Amino acid sequence: QFDPDNTGYISTEKFRTLLQRHGSELDPHKLEVLLALADSNSEGRICYQDFVNLMSNKRSNSFRQAILQGNRRLCSKALLEETGLSLSQRLIRHVAYETLPREIDRKWYYDSYTCCPPPWFMITITIVEASTLVAFFLYNGVVLDRFVLQVSHPLYLKNALLYHPQLRAQAWRYLTYIFMHAGIEHLGLNVVLQLLVGVPLEMVHGAARISFVYVAGVVAGSLAVSVADMRAPVVGSSGGVYALVSAHLANIVMNWSGMKCQFKLLRMAVALICMSFEFGRAVWLRFHPSAYPPCPHPSFMAHLGGVMVGITLGVIILRNYEQRLQDQTLWWIFLSIYVIFVLFAIFWNIFAYSLLDLKLPPPP
């Protein structure tokens, strides 16, 4: 109607007139972003596809850049100042302020989030991890008449899930070791961290991105052990958990002035204390003499592998909310480094153990 020549554009003056005429019919957040779009355009015209992208909650990189240049129009009223919200709306707003550094992203997320699908990945993986450990504990107690959760115990090592250097040819163990933990305190700390950090991140960034960071951290963790601590087994989901938490903390530090979450300093301190306590426990356990020699205690290198994934791939994924990562140069650089490390670790596992003639602990 307003583009009779079918050019795909209308003038910014006509666009502002339409917004003034029909602004009361629009969501106030979308109206603000539309005004920002009009203000940011230096060519004096508005692209129809940009308008469609905004109204359908889709964004391209070029459109995002145009909106960010007009971000001054979004400072009139922060999402945090809105009153009369329901409990679910306050929860969504809280998650937005906990994870996103820019007001435009918070408002976009608040408007578009429908809880469909829910954060199923982190909840499911947590339930499976806890259920597997409990089931294994009960199996040892009832069938084998020995309740045991000690990783170096021969009964604990006799399962098809944890990573063991003698069984490194069984490739699934590089991933399934997350379902076995060194004890209740090990499982408890990992569950608390991945629920408190992972669920909000999944609500914002989606299951695909968060599951990628989590699984990449898990695989990097077991491969790091196979390269740097070649005689030790591995248990626990710390690789994936540390990837998520370190990415989230690094994102907060990099965007400190924009993060408006309450008690952000306290939250960082608590997360760092929990991570340090769990990592310190793992280091102490690794070098503590085993009660069942020659079976060693599990390695702590998986934690460091997860941290490295978090501060590289994880930071890129969390920084680029609702953007195509395929267009990000740094994303491809870090992804290439990760793939090179995985390939190097695979060849290391094939050839290095025999070339170095290591004396490995006996197979379970």
* Segment 300-357, tens digit of pLDDT: 999 999 999 999 999 998 887 766 777 678 889 999 999 999 999 999 999 998 888 8
101 with 179, same domain: the answer is no
> Is 48 part of a structural domain of the chain?
yes
Q: Active-site residue 62, yes or no?
A: no
Do 351 and 231 reside in the same domain of the chain? yes
Three-state DSSP at 181 gives coil
Q: Are residues 141 and 176 in the same domain?
A: yes
Residue 364 lies in a domain: no
Cα end-to-end distance, the chain, whole Å:
75
> Which residues, at least 6 apart from 5, have a Cβ–Cβ distance to it below 8 Å?
none
Of the candidates 62, 113, 110, the residue with the CA atom closest to the CA atom of residue 324: 62
Same domain, 219 and 305: yes
Active site residue 246: no
Do 158 and 197 sit in the same domain of this protein? Answer: yes
Q: Is residue 286 part of a domain?
A: yes
More confident residue, 52 or 14: 14
In-domain check, residue 201: yes
Residue 72 scores a pLDDT above 50: no
| Cβ partners under 8 Å of residue 55, min gap 6 | 30
pLDDT over 60 at 68, yes or no: no
Q: Quick check: is 225 in a domain?
A: yes
pLDDT in the model for residue 71:
52
Q: Is the dihedral of CA 10, 12, 15, 21 positive or negative?
A: negative
| Inside any domain, residue 156 | yes
DSSP notation for 208-226: HHHHHHHHHHHHHHHHHHH
DSSP 260: -
Residue 357: left (phi > 0), alpha (psi -120 to 50), or beta? left
Could you tell me if 4 and 28 lie in one domain?
yes
For residue 363, being part of any structural domain is answered with no
CATH of the domain at 21: 1.10.238
Average pLDDT over residues 182-198: 88
Q: How confident is the model at residue 65 (pLDDT cuts 50, 70, 90)?
A: low
pLDDT tens-digit map of 243-287: 999 999 998 888 887 787 777 788 788 888 888 988 998 899 888
Q: Are residues 296 and 236 in the same domain?
A: yes
Regarding whether 133 and 26 lie in a shared domain, the answer is no
* Beta pairing partners, 163: 234
Alpha carbon distance 195, 123 (integer Å): 7
- pLDDT for 219 equals 97
- In a shared domain, residues 92 and 62: no
- Catalytic residue (one of 222, 238, 246, 299): 238
Tokens found for residue 305: 């592998």
In the chain, what percentage of residues exceed pLDDT 90?
Answer: 34
The predicted structure's pLDDT at residue 11: 85
Per the structure, the count of domains in the chain is 3
Query: What CATH number is given to the structural domain containing 324?
Result: 1.20.1540.10
Compute the half-sphere exposure of residue 212: CA atoms within 13 Å on the CB side of its CA: 14
Q: Is residue 95 located within the same domain as residue 126?
A: no
Instruction: Answer for the pair 31, 19: CB distance below 8 angstroms, yes or no.
Output: yes
Q: Say what the pLDDT of residue 59 is.
A: 59
Say yes or no: 160 and 266 in one domain: yes
Give yes or no: residues 172 and 151 share one domain. yes
Structural domain of residue 279, as residue ranges?
A: 122-356
Instruction: Compute the average pLDDT of residues 34-53.
Output: 74
Query: Which pLDDT does position 223 carry in this prediction?
Result: 96
Kindly report the number of other CB atoms within 10 A of residue 186's CB atom.
Answer: 23
Residue 361 maps to a domain: no
Does residue 63 register a pLDDT over 70? Answer: no
- The model's pLDDT over 131-167, given as tens digits with 9 standing for 90+, comes to 998 888 887 777 766 776 777 777 778 888 999 999 9
